[in-house]
Amino acid sequence: MLDAKIPAGNLEKKWDDYKSHVKLVNPANKRKLEIIIVGTGLAGASAAAALGELGYKVKAFCFQDSPRRAHSIAAQGGINAAKNYQNDGDSVFRLFYDTIKGGDYRSREANVHRLAEVSANIIDQCVAQGVPFAREYGGLLSNRSFGGTQVQRTFYAAGQTGQQLLIGAYQALERQVALGNVDMYTRHEMLELVTIDGKARGIITRNLVSGELERHFGHAVLLCSGGYGNVFYLSTNAMGSNTTAIWKAHKKGAYFGNPCYTQIHPTCIPVTGDHQSKLTLMSESLRNDGRIWVPKKQGDTRKSIDIPEEERDYYLERRYPAYGNLVPRDVASRAAKERCDAGYGVGTSRQAVFLDFAAAIQRYGKIEAGKRGLGDVDAATITLMGKEVVKEKYGNLFDMYEKITGENPYEVPMRIYPAVHYTMGGLWVDYELMTTIPGLYALGECNFSDHGANRLGASALMQGLADGYFVIPYTIGNYLADEIRVNAIPTSHPAFEEAEAKVKARIEELMNIKGSQTVESMHKRLGKIMWDKCGMARNAQGLQEAIQEIRQLKAEFWSDVKIPGTINEFNPELDKAGRVADFIELGELMCIDALERSESCGGHFREEHQTEEGEALRHDAEFMFVSAWEYQAQHQWKLHKEPLLYDVVKPTQRSYK
């Protein structure tokens, strides 16, 4: 039976009561305890900085050449916090409610409320670190809207919020490195979890420069390795982003929660051909001012500027008048797909819709003219001033779009289409962020927690920093308080010997295949199966076919993949091969989970389960639970269910109309 360890009592008091009664480790004992952190994005860097500051001995690992290259740096639009700076009705409860509703009532209430509670602390922490959030004219921090909400609660730094937040966390981390509280290991990839007497006690890593395998002991292990969207091959994730760390933990006994919950982001630059290795995100913040539309006539090949206003279908505003262009990501993505599938798509591929800033430019231009006290202003000047305002708000995003597409978005609408972005699934964790393996924790995107079946925009950065700065420093003490008598276990222990031998044997097996197909080609084939049959829309037949196709691909991979080079050297193809092998196994589980969940909810859209209006149709009586999968053997998993009990929020059919 899964125990989520949710504290008793009123929802709004659970976290305070927990902190008041949790076990503590005194400062002298913290210096004796070693903690391993895998991944140094926002969750990992903030956790390493916070735990190092508390006095623990921390070892932090990343496969990049610097923690600053973690994929968190790519986040654009902003970070949510319930500060109500705009005085527009926001509150901790409203952020909690929006997150539960946005996740289509498949989140754990206690975790989400805690996230909303600590959100305000995150902003104060980051401002103190010097993060350059955008500010209003009077100096107050600025906010903008994101999908799924009717308030402005998103703090931002132009279109590079993730970069600025990561630099803040990185500086805090590097301070602890300089003080000797954190040992930083770059270019190291975790390839196995070491358990002793059922508890996580270390990891086996590979030095990606020399190829050498290394053993590292820890009283606890924190996985902060991000999401697994690259299982689809094409995604907005950095190409190095992978599932290996959490997949190794899963095969060691950590349950995998809700693997099928994938977020498709509606605002990405469309695919242009088979040559692409990744996709580019255009921030959801653009939906604040951009209007999304398609021609009213099917197959219309005219240029956007030649299509008059009365012949444009602003379909999100038409279908969802209460939220308009700011509906949640899953809703906006499906709506775009529906229009394109019906023959209204634009561009050469017909797999795109327009995101148009013309109206915003005129609106801002008129406001600017008023601010400057200008009376009779000609249209060209209004347009010019409007463009200046838009450039200040979104300039780096517009520049990025023009560099990639060759089109000027100040003059013509952007073309966008949905793409894989974030994964709500991940290792199952309890209220303390501990997995089903004692001493093994998962933070940020690599756990299943908080976002249900669909993540609200600007909540990923919030969760990563909340877990690292404000949750794990309390919850890990509850475990380590009972570990203070455990001395550091020598890495000559048989468990370390066995784990390293397992890693070595797998690497040798990969290198000895000497087949004819590249790792990249295998990854592309996996991605096509996943996107076509477990992507934006899924059905039972397609998922059953996908499971068989993935199993065949796995057999082919392990018999015919070609990896050049040698083991004991810098060998990116070998690194990639190990990651793709794990993606193949994860892809199978994702399809199994999607097939098992015979309902639609959030980003999991089963075509057999939709309303008359084409919206997701949940079946709460049968599926009000977290799917937690236990690995048993090749192609075999056992499903455990954590019931979701709603004491405060009443689940209803989502409506954004």
Which pairing describes strands 79-80 and 154-155: parallel, antiparallel, or unpaired?
antiparallel
Active site residue 329: yes
Q: What is the CA radius of gyration of the chain?
A: 24
What is the distance between the terminal CA atoms of the chain, rounded to a whole angstrom? Answer: 40
Q: Contacts from 304-313 at CB under 8 Å and sequence distance 24+?
A: 304/346, 304/354, 304/356, 304/412, 304/413, 305/412, 313/339, 313/344
Residue 239 to residues 113, 230, 231, 382, 567, Cα–Cα distance (Å): 33, 7, 11, 42, 21
Answer for the pair 565, 571: CB distance below 8 angstroms, yes or no: yes
| CA trace torsion 23, 248, 235, 188 (10° rounding) | 80
* Pairing of β 636-643 and β 625-633: antiparallel
Residues 6 or more apart in contact with residue 438 via CB below 8 angstroms: 198, 199, 200, 479
Do 90 and 151 form a contact (C-beta atoms < 8 A)? yes
**Dihedral sign from CA coordinates of 610, 615, 620, 622:** positive
CA triplet 229, 231, 237: central angle to 5 degrees? 35
Specify the DSSP element, H or E, that contains 605. Answer: none
Catalytic residue among 329, 538, 597, 606: 329
Instruction: Tell me the CA distances in angstroms from 373 to 157, 271, 376, 384, 385, one per residue in order.
Output: 29, 45, 10, 16, 13
Both tokens of 446, joined, read: 């690599």
Q: Which of 450, 355, 457, 400 is nearest to 644 (CA)?
A: 450
Q: Alpha carbon of 303 to those of 32, 270, 407, 412: distances in Å?
A: 67, 17, 12, 9
Helix (H) or strand (E) holding 515: none
Q: Is the dihedral of CA 93, 149, 125, 189 positive or negative?
A: positive
Helix axes 42-54, 161-179, angle to 10 degrees: 30
User: One-letter amino acid identity for 361?
Assistant: I
- Indicate the SS3 state at residue 19: helix
Residue 7 CA, chain-centre distance (Å), reads 27
Report d(CA 601, CA 605) in Å as an integer.
6
Name the token pair of 598. Answer: 């015979």
Known catalytic residues are 329
